[in-house]
Structure 1
């Protein structure tokens, strides 16, 4: 019985593969020298056949396992169009070139990482896609020499792992060279930033220690100083040291992962009673129109996190909105909705907005558009949100700015 089941499974697998090859839109020959057999599909609309290969035929196909027949030339473009939609789902680079180095297929990930329009790069030379001299392009080298690369590390400006595969014509010429590239620039950059962060964190610690010592001596000297000098200590010297310490603490909160004392709390209660009361009093003080709106889909949902840290995030956003107000009365709206298993909180204002060139850098440490800003408020806020397993993004135009905070949700307290 077991043997019969295995035979039936094998029969179904063979039938499936035969149907797949029958549906394939081009004619081809696939050779397996070890088995001394070849799968031949003479016409696009005919089923394949399996043929015994002679010694001469095997010698001719030593470096050519897969060959396109001459009848497939016209239909191969349809195959590439068919494959293009599939390769667009691949997270790595997939590029086809012909023997002259002209790009015939480029998936979306390759076009995105190289900053080009995918439709415009088709029909142009590979060098225009990667912006590297021809003698450094290994895919072109494969087209010139017929030598394929397997897991070849590329160390030029586009760092990663390259594989190339040749698709042969039946006459022995190259029809296509397929290049797949595991693009590692982002990972390399992240490693550099991690190293820089650890170095900077160590420097920050070394700076804070003498600052603490200096502050202690200033407090001792302040006690015996005359009134005028004492005022200098109280209004300038000690506050400036405290400000420097605050900047260092904010920076360290970005550079080092924080341990969060977490609890489950209801979002509606947090936004209306915990955060809302604080921001309402500030809004009354500065004549700001403040509103919190909870969508029915977000009621009864809990967040796992630290209330005080999330409160600091919204206070930072409130302060930024206040500093970005224009001549119109300032409006600040907070809304909360549920999107499947995620909770989205938006914080919007009608301020003067953020210029497009700066919008991509607002979460970078020490980046600020204000003369007196440290550039750490939004960096710290984003770090807090990420520590809560959330994400923080922003959009802005001349009508104002919106920050989006997404968190995982719980239906009830656990």
Structure 2
């Protein structure tokens, strides 16, 4: 027990019993008791109404009243406190009635000692405090249960729904009675998924943030994120909490459609911009053949050359567009990653020299092999090198290219000290047809990502405006 005094009210018409109890409690070491005495039920009720005591000792015989009347008075006040009933002689029926009415314990006068009284008080207080904690948790649980916006369902492993919260009724468009008469599996849009869910949770597998489809009483489909935990293993009762994400998914679908429209718009603008000029040249050449008289042979050949060149430009553009939007067909062979890096650097050697970029190259001493399409990987590396060179100021560029070996994967890292990338641009960097360059097509990095993904690799970028950029490419090692 604590050092705080335990305040006790004793309701007893015999003052000698009060002195005896007080003497017993004075002998208890390590605990301070403050015992107040009232001689009858009327004064006892007046004191109880003040709710100032931690525990009550109540005599069973109180003139015209009994201790059961006092216990009933607690109920009338809706006041909960530990009560120990005292009586002059042992009586099983009185004991049973007192305990049924809410008494914490029952002691027979003359038969209990100081240790027995102290233990009865200590147990009564501990039990009361324990019940209070349980009651507080119960109130919190039911507060959450009743007020939660999520669907909350209690069920058992026999597929029975035991209880549901108001939100479940609202979202599933059913009354509580209708849901309690349904099996849990019937709430799933796909019955097979419902059975698999029940089997998983009943095999002691907690389910966290798993997407499922529920169906309302009106057979409308709703999408949920479901969490489930076993509450009582002995009774096989588990709790399901389902967040309705139907509206969220619809908004995401709308957003994806808008993004598709935006990409389509960029494609249209790109095609219009890139194709219009060669088409204009072709139309001008054709118009020359419609003139009267027809052009001379030498002049006609020149017009045909113009038409052929511009048709080739259009064909190349369409091919590049197609290559960035479909996975590459690869001719896979065993290649040393060091050699691939060196070859790609050789392709941009003139650019490095022209812009006076200081290149630092760090390879690994031993060969590291990957399975790759040499031509396409060189295109990807070259794209990254060209972008890095263009991002740096002439004569101030520092480009660091290094191979980072791992046990299962190998990384090739390209780091420059260029202007960096703005956050809004970074978020859309690999998106086809998106570019921040005045004359760019937005296809270089999209094509690079496509090549890396075709090799079952990964590509990532880290960048801050003014602090350069780092591209990391990862491949599986052979």
Kept after mapping to 2: 8 A contact 1:223/1:230: no
Kept after mapping to 1: 8 A contact 2:348/2:386: no
In 2, the alpha carbon distance for the partners of 1:329 and 1:268 equals: 26
In 2, the alpha carbon distance for the partners of 1:304 and 1:223 equals: 56
- Is 1:100 matched with 2:169? no
Correspondence 1:9-408 to 2 at 5 A: 72=134, 98-101=145-148, 138=171, 150-152=187-189, 153=213, 160-161=223-224, 178-179=241-242, 185=249, 224=297, 226=299, 230=302, 240-272=310-342, 274-295=343-364, 299-326=366-393, 329-397=396-464, 398-408=466-476
In 1, the alpha carbon distance for the partners of 2:414 and 2:227 equals: 48
In 2, the alpha carbon distance for the partners of 1:312 and 1:224 equals: 42
In 1, the alpha carbon distance for the partners of 2:355 and 2:371 equals: 32
Number of corresponding residues: 277
Task: Tell me: higher relative CO, structure 1 or 2? Use CA pairs within 8 A at least 6 residues apart.
Answer: 1
TM-score with structure 1 setting the length: 0.51
Deviations 1:231-278 (A, max 9, x none): 9965xx655544433332122113222210011011122223x22322
Q: CA deviation at 1:365?
A: 0.7
Q: 1:191 to 1:289 in 2, by over 3 A?
A: same
Q: CA deviation at 1:315?
A: 1.6
Please identify runs of 4+ aligned residues in structure 1 that moved more than 3 A: 69-78, 102-105, 134-137, 139-149, 152-155, 158-169, 180-193, 214-227, 229-234, 237-244
In 2, the alpha carbon distance for the partners of 1:241 and 1:364 equals: 27
Bigger-Rg structure (1/2): 2
Q: 1:146 to 1:168 in 2, by over 3 A?
A: farther
Kept after mapping to 1: 8 A contact 2:357/2:394: no
Kept after mapping to 1: 8 A contact 2:335/2:370: yes
Structure 2 unaligned runs (5+)?
1-130, 153-166, 190-212, 216-220, 233-237, 290-294
TM-score with structure 2 setting the length: 0.45
Kept after mapping to 1: 8 A contact 2:151/2:241: no
In 2, the alpha carbon distance for the partners of 1:281 and 1:316 equals: 15
Q: 1:165 to 1:345 in 2, by over 3 A?
A: closer
Kept after mapping to 2: 8 A contact 1:99/1:176: no
In 1, the alpha carbon distance for the partners of 2:329 and 2:231 equals: 58
Deviations 1:358-388 (A, max 9, x none): 1010101100001211111100100000011
Q: CA deviation at 1:292?
A: 1.7
Q: CA deviation at 1:392?
A: 1.0
SS in 2 for 1:98: helix
